[in-house]
Amino acid sequence: MTPPSVFASYPSLAGKVVLISGGAQGIGAASVEIFALQGARVAFLDLTDEPALALVDDLTPRVPHAPLYVHCDLTDIPALQSAIGEISTILGPPQILINNAASDDRHSFAEVTPEYWDQRMAVNLRHQFFAAQAVAPGMKSAGSGSIINMSSISWLIPSASLAVYNMAKAAIVAMTRSLSHELGPSNIRVNAVLPGAILTEKQRRLYMSADYEQHLFTVQCLKRHILPDEVARLLLFLASDDSSAITNQSHVIDGGWI
């Protein structure tokens, strides 16, 4: 990650309780780090304990408030609600929610079963709604809040072998627009972020072939990889008071692909 001193700092984030789902790796881990470096009190949810605990160990001596990791299967909504309750007891009610967790597993249209459909929607869409529902009362009591839902440009391209994932990511934009009107009277802002091909470790390991990289640099305006911390810096702005009038919007960060 580029040293944070090079970039903007957001005093309004200091001490804020930030909840990030899927925070152990990729964009989620970059977000945990960058919010913690701003002085926020960060809690994150994930299933992968080893990278999550390694992230906590790495950050603890470097940030004002050590991140809080809570193991949670986001497809289990009662467990998600319980985890958010636990975080609220320890740190206070989340004032910022980053609905990040997702899985872009490739799949054949012809082979999708009802069971696979339901499982993918649980992984990529359902938990975002119920996490927002769980944090909203605390945000209403505080008089403000920022919810950021991670979508994707995949449904705008569109991408092959991702039909169910694309539908979930499109639905996140619709959800964002609905919740921004639902929660706006309580001064809670709701925005969506639509990343392109972000060079996470998973992307590099599974999908970043030489042919795909060549295609990427053909379709993007910027002829380079977009990194997870670049997405995280956009999240910082949308979470901070600097964006206090921005809600009901979809923010694309893709190097100019679409």
Q: Which of 69, 165, 207, 212 is catalytic?
A: 165
Domains and CATH numbers, the chain: 11-198+227-253 (3.40.50.720)
Q: Are 116 and 166 in contact (CB under 8 A)?
A: no
Catalytic residue check, 165: yes
For 42-54, what is the mean pLDDT? Answer: 98
**Percentage of the chain exceeding pLDDT 70:** 98
- Model confidence at 1, pLDDT cuts 50, 70, 90, reads low
C-alpha–C-alpha distance, residues 213 and 225, integer Å: 9
C-alpha–C-alpha distance, residues 225 and 221, integer Å: 11
pTM of the model: 0.96
Q: Are 36 and 67 in contact (CB under 8 A)?
A: yes
190-205 tens-digit pLDDT: 999 999 999 999 888 9
For 141-152, what is the mean pLDDT? Answer: 98
50-79 tens-digit pLDDT: 999 999 999 999 999 999 999 999 999 999
pLDDT tops 80 at residue 80: yes
Query: How many Å separate Cα 146 from the centre of its chain?
Result: 12
Mean pLDDT of the chain: 96
Interhelix angle 26-37/49-59, rounded to 10 degrees, is 20
